[in-house]
Amino acid sequence: MPYASDSIVLHQIGKTFTTSRGHITALHNIDLSIGDGEFFSIVGPSGCGKTTLLRILAGLDTASTGTVDIKINSGDRPVNSMVFQEQSVFPWMMVIDNVAYGLKLRGIAKKERYEIAEKYIRMIGLSKFAKAYPHQLSGGMKQRVSVARAFANDPEILLMDEPFGALDEQNRIILQQELLRIWELSKKTTVFITHSIDEALCLSDRIMIMTAHPGTLKSIVNVDLPRPRDIAAIRTTMRYNELFQIIWLTLREEVLKVKQLELDAY
């Protein structure tokens, strides 16, 4: 898919952890470019290095080899915002203050940061709960607050590590649809980790499939499903099913390798 420019360029990324039991190579020689405004998902078997890669993009960890380049469009914005699987809201803050937190850190005046926060709270359907505290919200609602906060921060890139993994299916579908809607409006470069081929297909422009440990780039699939997307409708299309098969057959080889390694270890 054509993009005006690259937002993220990874060159020969490798990561080796040193532990008391020796060295663990988590990532090996990953070359990758992600376009400005692209929704890019990563799937791969358990332990293949997805989170490690995202942590390197977030600056929470450093690569052992290679380089990471992230295009900075404006010096006033944070480079990234991350949404984790676990709800990472502050329990002592009202919803509106949780969503506005990053803006406060950047010194944005209260009136303006509340206006921005209210806009995103409206988008995720929580206006009535703007002054509620997290203990008054369900798990799905708290995760919505995390998503709203990430967008309100207006980062250069959005990083999401299985953000809906802990939710029940109904809440997950609703949040996926809301994420699609907000992303369509902002066209923010997004890197999204998921274990779900379905989720990756519904949301992404491209999907990267990683090999089993050590993680390398196995292949990248273009998701040529039309946008804007309705998640329920897209799943009924023939192209969705074709893409699902392609990804599953590629991924299955890697999942089986992990299973074999587990059996060999016994």
Contact call for residues 175 and 167 (beta carbons, < 8 A):
yes
Question: What is the end-to-end Cα distance of the chain in Å, rounded?
Answer: 45
Of 155 and 214, CB closest to ligand ATP: 214
Q: Give 21-30 contacts, CB < 8 A, sequence gap 24+.
A: 25/214, 26/52, 26/213, 26/214, 26/215, 27/52, 27/53, 27/56, 27/63, 27/214, 27/215, 27/216, 28/214, 28/215, 28/216, 29/65, 29/66, 29/216, 30/66, 30/215, 30/216, 30/217
Q: How far is the CB of 75 from ligand ATP (least distance, A)?
A: 30
Output the six-digit token pair for 160: 């999401």
Q: Does 90 bind ligand ATP (CB under 6 A)?
A: no
Contact call for residues 70 and 156 (beta carbons, < 8 A):
yes
Q: Does 20 bind ligand ATP (CB under 6 A)?
A: no
Q: Report CA torsion sign: 85, 185, 121, 234.
A: negative
Of 35 and 44, CB closest to ligand ATP: 44
List the alpha helices (DSSP H) in the chain: 50-58, 95-105, 110-123, 139-152, 169-186, 197-203, 231-234, 238-265
Task: Calculate the dihedral angle through the C-alpha atoms of 247, 163, 158, 234, rounding to the nearest 10 degrees.
Answer: 50
Of 51 and 87, CB closest to ligand ATP: 51
* Binding residue (CB under 6 A) for ligand ATP from 28, 188, 213, 229: 213
CA distance linking residue 23 with residue 12, whole number of Å: 19
Q: Give the binding-site size for ligand ATP (rule: CB under 6 A).
A: 13
Of 87 and 211, CB closest to ligand ATP: 211
Of 225 and 258, CB closest to ligand ATP: 258
* Binding residue (CB under 6 A) for ligand ATP from 4, 19, 75, 170: 19
Of 70 and 210, CB closest to ligand ATP: 210
* Binding residue (CB under 6 A) for ligand ATP from 5, 12, 17, 222: 17
String marking each residue 48-67 x if it binds ligand ATP according to CB under 6 A: xxxxx---------------
Sheet holding 22-35, edge to edge: 22-35, 6-19, 65-70
Which residues, 177 to 196, sit near ligand ATP by CB under 6 A? none
Of 22 and 75, CB closest to ligand ATP: 22
- The stretch near ligand ATP (CB under 6 A) out of 44-52, 96-104, 123-131, 222-230 is 44-52
- The stretch near ligand ATP (CB under 6 A) out of 2-10, 42-50, 149-157, 240-248 is 42-50
* Binding residue (CB under 6 A) for ligand ATP from 3, 6, 9, 24: 24
Question: What type of residue is 41?
Answer: S
Of 37 and 165, CB closest to ligand ATP: 165
Q: Which residues bind ligand ATP (CB under 6 A)?
A: 17, 19, 24, 26, 44, 46-52, 213
